[in-house]
Amino acid sequence: MGADENAIRTPLVINGQERYSEDTFEVYDPASHGRLVGLASAATASEAAEAVSAAHAAWPAWSALPASDRIKSVLAALDPLDSDADERTETLVRENGKVRFECGIDLQVFVGRFHQAAEFATTMDEPERLSGPPFNTTVSHVPYGVVTIIIPFNWPLAILAASLPYALMAGNTVVVKPPPTAPLSVVRTLQHVAAALPPGVLDVVTGRDAEIGPPLIEDPRVRKVCFTGSVNGGRHVMRMAATHLVDVTLELGGNDPAIVLEDAELDEAAFGRLSMGAFLTTGQVCMAMKRLYVPRRRFDEVVDGLRSALAATRVGPGLSEGVTMGPLNTSRQRDLVAALREEAKAGGAREIELGSFVDGIDPAEGNYLLPSLVLNPPRDARIVTEEQFGPALPIMSYDDEEDAIAQANDTWSGLCSSVWSSDDEHGAAVASRLRTGVTFYNNHNAPAVDERAPFGGFNQSGTGRELGREGLLEFCQTHVVSVPSA
């Protein structure tokens, strides 16, 4: 494997101290196989346990602070992030694969979500009072203690900020496990934040799942685990957490449906939102549109509109001029998406590849795929029933709205969905029948998320909620004190 002269190395952060482990693991650029981006410290199980110990020791003093003091400290810890934002953005492009613009947004959302969390956390010290008779009762929300947060590669900083500021401002101490394929920018960001907080309040450990997973989840001092990732990963985390009945919040995958209704007004802007809904971050977003249902009468119109919207897609390295879509993060995922597309074609579907590769690249040198539309695959095709998590959108025609709703709900998942209509009342009625945690209207994917509202899924798409007031309460336990009234 070739080395990169710009390769960086990241430490662990334990009890306020940065530590470079003897063992490391390599992080490679998905745009060019063999190009080393950096070396991340590989924590041992004992080092992960040290991080838990540090967080446990820091918790009493941190949780005893007034919420207003915690909020002030956490927001002040963001101040150093402007100093090297460009460098961290470029690092994220090189380890993640997505384009520079998306990586810049990732860093911005990280900061924005801290400020949004602060608005909800200001009421932490205001208990609810229930006056008697027969009791005078106080209902308070108190922090759990040590929280482990495990995040994925695709939008690592934005996803981290859906939980980290809420956990800290609620009075918990936190150990963060960054994603193994894209840990570098996350660690660089959290080095700044942790350095501005009391030692142990925020700890960061990178490493191999089998080595550090058990101490970060099964240690009885860990009282809450927040995991974002695959359904199988969520099952594994839940089994481990059951050892000590640790509470979990799981934000897992989705096979998210979108339904275009007969009355939808689809102009160029709408087709732009449809394409963004499916192909943002090369389709590697849990809340992305994974299945599109279209009235048969309008099928060709929708396909043509998406063809036009995607025609200018330029696939290549995320740092290259003119690139609008980067590679997939891993070759394994690229191969899976390619296989799903081939299976659908073998079952009778028609595939339309769109866009082009930028000049000067060999697609075989990176994890590249062109975006594609897969037209009317069989209902039982894996590209319909599974989460493809890549740049391929199956589009199915329907004759009856009831059947479209039934197909949309016929899934193991329940994260997000969308309804496209020009009749707000009709659209809302259909939206109310979709069994997902979030339903968007005339939009889909991350740009459509209301940061003030809770986010999470039904069914196997997860448990618990992030963001909003509910997201704050996910990091609290309810404490009731009842005193007999006079």
Residues carrying an active site annotation:
251, 286
How far apart (Å, rounded) are the C-alpha atoms in residues 10 and 23?
12
The number of beta carbons lying within 10 Å of the beta carbon of residue 297 is 10
End-to-end CA distance of the chain: 77
How far apart (Å, rounded) are the C-alpha atoms in residues 87 and 107?
11
How far apart (Å, rounded) are the C-alpha atoms in residues 145 and 56?
7
Q: Which token pair is 475?
A: 């990091």
Please give the helix or strand (H or E) that residue 176 lies within, else none: strand 173-177
How far apart (Å, rounded) are the C-alpha atoms in residues 106 and 247?
28
Q: How far is CA 433 from CA 176, 397, 438, 439, 459, in A?
A: 37, 19, 12, 10, 15
How far apart (Å, rounded) are the C-alpha atoms in residues 302 and 276?
14
Measured N-to-C along each axis, helices 209-217 and 45-64 cross at an angle, to the nearest 10 degrees, of: 30
| DSSP SS3 for 228 | strand
- For Cα atoms 91, 95, 100, give the angle at the middle one, nearest 5 degrees: 55
Cis amide leading into 179 (omega within 30): no
The dihedral of CA 381, 382, 385, 389: what is its sign?
Answer: negative
Report the half-sphere exposure of 237 (CA within 13 A, side-chain side): 27
How far apart (Å, rounded) are the C-alpha atoms in residues 47 and 447?
38
How far apart (Å, rounded) are the C-alpha atoms in residues 49 and 214?
9
- For Cα atoms 193, 161, 158, give the angle at the middle one, nearest 5 degrees: 110
